[in-house]
Chain A
Amino acid sequence: MSGYQARFQVWRGDAAGGGLTDFTVEVNEGEVVLDIIHRIQATQAPDLAVRWNCKAGKCGSCSAEINGRPRLMCMTRMSVFTRGETVTVTPLRTFPVVRDLVTDVGFNYTKAREVPAFVPPPGLGPGEYRMMQEDVDRPQEFRKCIECFLCQDTCHVVRDHEENKTAFAGPRYLMRVAELDMHPLDAAAEAGLDRKSTAQDEHGLGYCNITKCCTEVCPEGIKITDNALIPLKERAVDRKYDPLVWLGTKIRRRRD
């Protein structure tokens, strides 16, 4: 494949307004959308605002919507488009726009702070932690998250309903709750924090209707819905909606 001229539409503007701007730009073999955005920046629009860092799908900075789909620009190869196709690049449409392709992702940092941190087990010093691989496998999958916020962007709970942003943590941070609840040495329960109920009561797990868009867009291929959100829902059911489990824990507690 040799080079060709591709047609691009890139959203430019800020919170006060903006629109799609047309560019015709050179594309070479093996390039990704981020390369093209950089070429536009270097040759046609030096002040085109875009976030990026590693350019290898590891940092999760260059999230955008390409032809309407939330994706990492560095991991979207130009070869997935036909040569005649116009490629449309817009900022994430769930977060307030700052400028051009850059959005204010502060929502995510706010939510991150609302999830109580790992509680170290009392009585275990550094170097004394023993955990089995099969026990860390589950939370390790969630820790692959590169915090690109594509799941947060695509989730219709907040994408289509601004008002839900206060009550709903979003897939990334519900997954964080699941991660901590599955951490083999997290001592939150002993410290009086029940992550299972707070997932529902404080982080808005009930808003999730498991329509799986978070899983669909995850560039790390984390099975967010099947492995984090649904298991968390089931754990919340144990605490809140299953009379048998509730009775069981009551009886067991009495025996203790």
Chain B
Amino acid sequence: MATGTEPPDTEPHPRGGGVRSPRRAAIAAPHLRTDRWWLAPAGTAAGLLAFVVYSTWRAFADADYYAAPYVSPFYSPCLAERCAPMRSGPNWEIFGPWWGISPAIIILIFPLGFRLTCYYYRKAYYRGFWASPPACAVAEPHRTYTGETRFPLILQNVHRYFFYAALLVALVLTYDTVLAFRDEHYAWGHMGLGTLVFSANIVLIWAYTLSCHSCRHIVGGKLKHFSRHPVRYRAWRWVGRLNARHMQLAWASLISVALADLYVYLVASGAFDDPRLF
């Protein structure tokens, strides 16, 4: 065989596309994997679906999102006139009375966009929902494939802008967490179980946000010579270590943000009383 690609002049057997293309080894099965390869995409799809259902319900509910001193992360910052009043909380009435639906919709677009264009979530839903591919070396069901070369998927390239937005959202949620160190009468220096839930959530949100691949690129990955930028090199290495856990952080922060919201819902709806620690 020369280094060229001239195919041998044997008559190929006529068959389908992909792994069944002519000239490839004649194997009818779309894959020969014997392990439970479907488990990971199925689990991913189920997990993401559960979150989508829950968050859609909560986002459109427009109720039970504030229980002093806690505001649901789905509704923070709350930017409509219709928002529940929160003392020194992150609500600014930018959207007037004409905004008729849940104020969560205004702000959720940013974290949602961040996660939707995230390099990990892309993998997760391309595999879990689109089956493109369902698992490694398992044939995908689509006849054609252009990946992220054209609209709409080419828009995935704006990920870094959602990252900038996600930084702002994370700042607001940090502020919320600080506010959570009050009691229900807005007195400072108190903690409840909710404070712990919020603290855990904000740590995970920051870890997830900073572990972002775009962040890694911006802090130092784009450089050609680390040796000339020692500070950025150190930052890049630190982000790199977080980045290695991007998937775990994506799931952990997804769950924690849902739990933080659920906690607020339970307290606000009166199903549960926030146990005060001090």
Contacts and interface: CB of A to CB of B under 8 A. Distances in A.
Q: Do chains A and B touch in the complex (CB under 8 A)?
A: yes
Interface of A: 11, 13-20, 65, 67-70, 85, 88, 90-91, 93-98, 103-104, 106-107, 109-110, 113, 132, 134-135, 153-154, 156-157, 159-164, 181-182, 184, 204, 206-213, 216-217, 226, 230-231, 233-238, 240-242
Contacts of B31: 68
Contact of A216 (B11, B136, B145): B136
Q: How large is the interface on B (under 10, 10 to 19, 20 to 34, 35 or more residues)?
A: 35 or more
Interface string B2-43: 011111101111000111011111110001111100000000
Tell me the dominant secondary structure on chain A's binding face: mixed
Nearest to B31: A68
A206 B148 contact: yes
Nearest to B140: A160
Residue picked from A93, A135, A159, A204, most chain B C-beta under 10 Å:
A93
A17 B217 contact: no
Given A217-B136, A226-B243, A238-B222, A16 B147 contact: no
Contacts of B224: 135, 181-182, 184
Contacts of A208: 147-148
A-B CB proximity, top 5 nearest: A68-B32, A68-B33, A206-B149, A106-B5, A132-B227
28 contacts: A11-B25, A13-B26, A15-B11, A15-B12, A16-B10, A67-B32, A67-B34, A67-B35, A68-B31, A68-B32, A68-B138, A90-B32, A96-B7, A96-B23, A104-B1, A106-B5, A134-B233, A135-B227, A153-B137, A156-B132, A159-B19, A160-B140, A161-B144, A162-B21, A209-B122, A210-B119, A226-B243, A237-B159
Contact of B19 (A93, A113, A217, A242): A93
Contacts, number: 197
Contacts of A94: 19, 24
A11 B27 CA distance: 9
A160 B139 contact: yes
B25 A13 contact: yes
Contact of B23 (A11, A19, A97, A157): A97
Contacts of B8: 15, 96, 98, 104
B95 interface: no
Given A109-B3, A110-B4, A162-B18, A235 B148 contact: no
* Residue picked from A94, A154, A156, most chain B C-beta under 10 Å: A156
